[in-house]
Chain A
Amino acid sequence: MQRIVVIGAGHASGQLLDSLRRGGSDAHITLVGEESWLPYQRPPLSKRFLSGELTVERLAFRPKSFYEKHDIHTRLSCRAVSIDRDAQTVRLANGEALDYDLLALTTGGRVRKLSVPGAGLTGVHYLRGIDDALGLQADWQGRDNVCVIGGGFVGLEVAASARRLGKNVTVIEMMDRLMGRAVSPAMSGYFLGLHTHNGAHVMCSTGVSELVGIDGRVSGVRLSDGREIPADVVVVGIGVLPNQELAREAGLACDNGIMVDELARTSDPKIVSAGDCTNHPNSLLGRRLRLESVHNALEQAKSAAASLMGGQLPYAQVPWFWSDQYNSKLQMVGLSQGFDFAVQRGNPDEDKFSLFYYRGNVLIAIDSVNCPGDHMAGKKLIAAGISPSPGQAADPEFPLKSLL
């Protein structure tokens, strides 16, 4: 019987397993996961899970019974340390070796660590997995001053959750605006206003030089201008790095991610890879990129599963993302970087608007706040290469649907 080993237990992994079994694969499948959890939903960790509205059971990507029913062997709390491609084995941290005929790397990403003095103090948190979220939840009980370092999605979602729990929140961002890597200056401006209005103190263009502590526990954040912000708890969200070392040490091509083709195949025909850890081509965008997104993980995993079963399902998707902060639902479709001009539809003062981004006359992306119709229309428009005129985009009465 064919043996498939899947390393990593995130969204891509869960989807890959689902697609393999639904696609009729009867391979002997082993899932190797470093955490003690079966694949789970990460997005709620900084939102509804952190603020206590969701239980840990509800995070599961598939229930435990799914793995039993589909005869998927799970090896959790178990780290893969090396791949021997000639022998076709995966070495685990306990010394054991798993033989494979085909291998899938869904190793995801890990948080970028803060590298200033004091970064190792107790009370300094990162947020990537369930254990991180549980640790943060337990630690900020009874502690009021939360300082978030990094004004990206995770940092701002944590800030909103902390405000929801009534904590004093300061957000420190090195760039001159929030979510600068993902959205336009106008959208950054809206979110600055949103956080400020909800009582968070946001400091942009501000660096951190040191975390200061008392008896080993963090008590404040020293800014690069010398000021000190009091902090009982610090949450760091300054980006994610691809987990590519396992692949690179096995001699697979890596460059800001594990290099794959549109069928999610690595440079070894017996190994596929999907999710945050890959550097992949996207024919719709006309370039290679690495994405940290649920949608990418799921869709690329479907391509990877197809390749493992000898089929072909090329990955070509318009990227989309979402973020929930306070009562504002931000949905993003397409990548807006490098846009020439943006058109506003709706009214930011009513917390309901979208920005349509154009390069030349071509619509390349839409960021929407509480306008899911614009977002959904945008997914279809951009995928089909249809661009509303700027005048049509700016008129909330113009039905985008009529262009489809």
Chain B
Amino acid sequence: MPKITLIQHSGESYTVEAADGATVMEVAIDNDIDGIIGECGGCCSCATCHCYIDPAFLDKIPPRGDLETEMLEFASSEAKGNSRLACQVEITEELEGMVVILPETQL
């Protein structure tokens, strides 16, 4: 199981084991890490699991879909080039060591 690090807006950092096939959103919920909400349960409907992905890993994950890109435009914290919805990023072995920054707010 790869380890990834989630860093909250406050700077608090959590390095956790992430199950293959889980999404980054699920990893945050499973580890009780504040900063990811996932109101819709992970079906790209609510934009409350916005996160910023370590740019070094962006090419190791499939690119954003059209719906995800549109949702991100209206996320509560500013969307950047490395913004993703955490429910759309699936964990693979290749993501060992990935750092995910959580935004100031999701609502």
Contact = CB atoms under 8 A, between A and B. Distances in A.
Contacts of B70: 371-373, 376
Contacts of B45: 322, 324, 329, 331, 372
A: interface residue count bin: 20 to 34
Interface in B40-76: 40-41, 43-47, 67, 70-71, 73-74
Contacts of B29: 62-63
Contacts of B73: 373, 376, 401
A294 B32 contact: no
A62 B47 contact: no
A376 B39 contact: no
B78 interface: no
Contacts of A298: 39
A67 to B, nearest CB: 11
Interface residues of B, number: 19
Interface stretch (A1-9, A40-48, A73-81, A91-99): A40-48
Nearest to B26: A58
Given A373-B74, A376-B74, A69 B41 contact: no
B20 interface: no
Contact of B71 (A47, A63, A294, A373): A373
B30 interface: yes
A69 B26 contact: no
Contacts of A379: 74
A376 B71 contact: yes
Contact of B43 (A22, A322, A373): A322
A372 B44 CA distance: 9
Contacts of A373: 70-71, 73-74
A322 B71 CA distance: 14
Contacts of A62: 29, 32
A305 to B, nearest CB: 15
A69 B32 contact: yes
A143 to B, nearest CB: 27
B36 to A, nearest CB: 12
Nearest to A399: B73
Contacts of B22: 58
B34 interface: yes
Contacts of B39: 294-295, 298
A326 to B, nearest CB: 14
A48 B43 CA distance: 9
Nearest to A22: B34
Interface in A57-110: 58, 62-63, 65-66, 69
A380 interface: yes
A13 interface: no
Nearest to A40: B41
B44 to A, nearest CB: 8
Contacts of A174: none
Nearest to B22: A58
Contacts of A69: 32
A376 B76 CA distance: 10
Given A331-B45, A376-B47, A376-B74, A63 B30 contact: yes
Interface of A: 22, 41, 43-44, 47-48, 58, 62-63, 65-66, 69, 294-295, 298, 322, 324, 329, 331, 370-373, 376-377, 379-380, 401
CB-CB nearest 7 A-B residue pairs: A376-B74, A373-B70, A41-B41, A322-B45, A372-B71, A372-B70, A63-B30
7 contacts: A62-B32, A329-B44, A329-B45, A370-B67, A373-B74, A380-B74, A401-B73
Given A43-B40, A47-B43, 9 more contacts: A66-B32, A295-B39, A298-B39, A329-B44, A372-B45, A372-B67, A379-B74, A380-B74, A401-B73
